[in-house]
Amino acid sequence: MAEVVSPVPGAGRREPGEVGRARGPPVADPGAALSPQGEIIEGCRLPVLRRNQDNEDEWPLAEILSVKDISGRKLFYVHYIDFNKRLDEWVTHERLDLKKIQFPKKEAKTPTKNGLPGSRPGSPEREVKRKVEVVSPATPVPSETAPASVFPQNGSARRAVAAQPGRKRKSNCLGTDEDSQDSSDGIPSAPRMTGSLVSDRSHDDIVTRMKNIECIELGRHRLKPWYFSPYPQELTMLPVLYLCEFCLKYGRSLKCLQRHLTKCDLRHPPGNEIYRKGTISFFEIDGRKNKSYSQNLCLLAKCFLDHKTLYYDTDPFLFYVMTEYDCKGFHIVGYFSKEKESTEDYNVACILTLPPYQRRGYGKLLIEFSYELSKVEGKTGTPEKPLSDLGLLSYRSYWSQTILEILMGLKSESGERPQITINEISEITSIKKEDVISTLQYLNLINYYKGQYILTLSEDIVDGHERAMLKRLLRIDSKCLHFTPKDWSKRGKW
């Protein structure tokens, strides 16, 4: 699950190069809106008016997911096609372009996807888009063990690192490319027996596709959820859901919360405080020992994470909650979870920075802390896929800055070019080798020159990295970490 940046209008819109949006100022014509049954129905598609991040009107194509009537006025829940689901919303009749409405096609049976039931019969035909990034044979891929060295190129490069040609890397190790976000509509060949939190999207239905919580009050913040979360049904009708910011228990009203606070003696997350520097602390929480807190944390996190599912069995997981301290206590900023035993080298299952704390460097701090734990454990790690779109951006940024920091810190010995291997970068940073290679390719650093793979750091790359590091004020201090890894293979430790 992901750092997620602040929800701004237009965030999550489609990438450049995709099909253009429906634009223009159409005028609603109520007569054109009627279906053969005389009303707009679920499954219809039509342009809907919305404001983008530049505060301009646009008319993207949207699908009607639900219709409700409040005091004689109809509201329509719409999903903007090719936009992130966090932008879904209830709209009024006036914002619909009824002249371009597409009614759902009638089908005799519920459509299936790979043999499994679809989410709704009668929706307009959807083309499942699968984007597969193939590593071209011409794309240089350095060996993992061959040494690398500095190499000048046309006088424009400040530093370059070269690696001898070695065995080719498999084309599927770009596990964090942007297109991996679309991998969620693939059906796994067999269920995983571990505690994976990846959502099987094949079983999505109309209920889980819609936000069900209007607003959450958490301490001094009010949060607008982005996605569905399985809170009890009776709470979904409330205008505001009140949460205790220390134990995360939920209440129906402010009075219920105030009554709870007189009894709740927690002023920090349960579990062990394993890191503190300044006002920032990290608490390690065992999903088995603190089941109620862990489940409440998952419920809250699901409001802002779409690609993960909720497991009420939190026993296989550890939760690392980051807090900010003041005179009232330790306030939750974000968290990540990880499996106690991961057979696939995952060091993060879900990761989230709460919206009020986004775009302030806390996401990278969470990621850095997860890799700091991996260093203490003597392992390399990678986040569980798929990442959210915003999580992918955060991880790419962290990987890029961390790897560039290593490359720029290399020093020559005896006048020779400094050398380093992919394996050495992975061991120093605890970043999995596949993520190191995909990051080098993403930065376009790899070149082939005179039989060698050269990693060229241009002036633009170096200057951009130095500017970014000046802004990155929050860093993990390994001296402040007090953490002893456990051998979870021994069931008695659970």
CA distance 361 to 396: 14
| Model pTM score | 0.74
Amino acid at 384: E
CATH 2.30.30.140-classified regions of the chain: 44-100
Per-residue pLDDT of the chain (494 residues; tens, 9 = 90+): 444 444 444 444 444 334 344 444 444 444 444 554 447 889 999 999 999 888 899 999 999 999 988 888 999 999 999 998 899 999 999 999 999 999 888 765 555 444 444 444 444 444 433 333 333 334 455 666 655 543 434 434 444 554 544 433 333 333 333 333 333 333 333 333 344 455 544 445 677 889 999 999 999 999 999 999 999 999 999 999 999 999 999 999 999 999 999 999 999 999 999 999 999 999 999 999 999 999 999 999 999 998 776 667 899 999 999 999 999 999 999 999 999 999 899 999 999 999 999 999 999 999 999 999 999 999 999 999 888 888 889 999 999 999 999 999 888 777 777 778 889 999 999 999 999 999 999 999 887 777 777 788 888 999 999 999 999 999 999 999 999 998 887 765 55
pLDDT given for residue 400 in this prediction = 96
CA angle 59, 61, 64 (to 5 degrees): 115
Q: Which CATH class is domain 271-479?
A: alpha beta
323 φ, ψ to 5°? -130, 160
pLDDT given for residue 143 in this prediction = 61
Q: Which CATH class is domain 44-100?
A: mainly beta
Which value, in Å, is the radius of gyration of the alpha carbons in the chain?
25
400-442 tens-digit pLDDT: 999 999 999 888 777 777 778 889 999 999 999 999 999 999 9
pLDDT given for residue 335 in this prediction = 97
- β-bridge partners, 242: 217, 251
257 φ, ψ to 5°? -65, -45
304-362 tens-digit pLDDT: 998 776 667 899 999 999 999 999 999 999 999 999 999 899 999 999 999 999 999 99
Compute CA distances 37 → 33, 40, 41, 131, 475, whole Å: 11, 9, 9, 38, 60
CA distance 382 to 434: 9
CATH 3.40.630.30-classified regions of the chain: 271-479
Residues with a catalytic annotation lie at: 384
Helices (H), 178-253: none
- Under DSSP, the state recorded for 459 is H
